Structure 1
Amino acid sequence: MSEPTGKYSITMPRDIAEAAKTRGGPSGLSAYVAAAVARQIERDNLNELIQVGEAEHGPISQEESQALRDQLHHARRQTRDAA
């Protein structure tokens, strides 16, 4: 993360903080928490896009959803196999 940083105080359950510290390893707790928050923001943004899309076009069917998952898995396999 090359963005300027700030110092913040957060409160979380001790067991979660300790697990995050352990998993953060050499990068540290701050980097681990920042990455987790960034992933959550991405998910929130995607959920907002889905809500807008469904409001405009209706909900996606299970069949459409599965077809898109299959395409994604296929693309990932191709990318992995090409590496």
Structure 2
Amino acid sequence: MAMKKVTVTLPEDLVAALGDAARDEGIPLSRLIAGAAEDELRRRTGRKLLASWQEEHGAFTAEELAAARAEMAAADAQLLASSDPSAA
């Protein structure tokens, strides 16, 4: 993958927190920031897809939203349980 160096301006406390997070993960700061940017682009794509679906099929019902939230909570709980070293 081609890389391009860019300059961004961020609040000092955010840079410090990002640096700490990158060190904790053992990855370069640029990789942490690139991952966060990729996550944001995926969320934006998802929101656009949802909006497009709703334009065609109508707004989600309260029941559909509740079912989706329950499914996401269950998936989150499963992921957390599988990554929790004390769960073993």
TM bucket (normalised to shorter chain) is 0.7 to 0.9
SS in 2 for 1:6: coil
Match of 1:54 in 2: 54
State the 1:31 CA deviation. 0.7
* TM-score normalized by the length of structure 1: 0.78
Match of 2:86 in 1: none
Match of 2:66 in 1: 66
After superposition, where does 1:1-80 map in structure 2 within 5 Å? 3-25=1-23, 26-74=26-74, 77=78
Identity, in percent, stands at: 25
Cα distance in 2, alignment partners of residues 73 and 11 from structure 1? 35
Quickly say closer, same or farther: Cα 1:24–1:75, change in 2 above 3 A.
closer
Quickly say closer, same or farther: Cα 1:21–1:62, change in 2 above 3 A.
same
Unaligned runs of 5+ in 1: none
Cα distance in 1, alignment partners of residues 46 and 33 from structure 2? 20
Q: Deviations over 1:9-55 (max 9, x none)?
A: 11111111110011011312101100100100000000000111111
Structure 1 runs of 4+ with >6 Å offset: none
* TM-score normalized by the length of structure 2: 0.74
- Aligned residue pairs: how many? 76
Unaligned runs of 5+ in 2: 83-88
Quickly say closer, same or farther: Cα 1:19–1:66, change in 2 above 3 A.
same
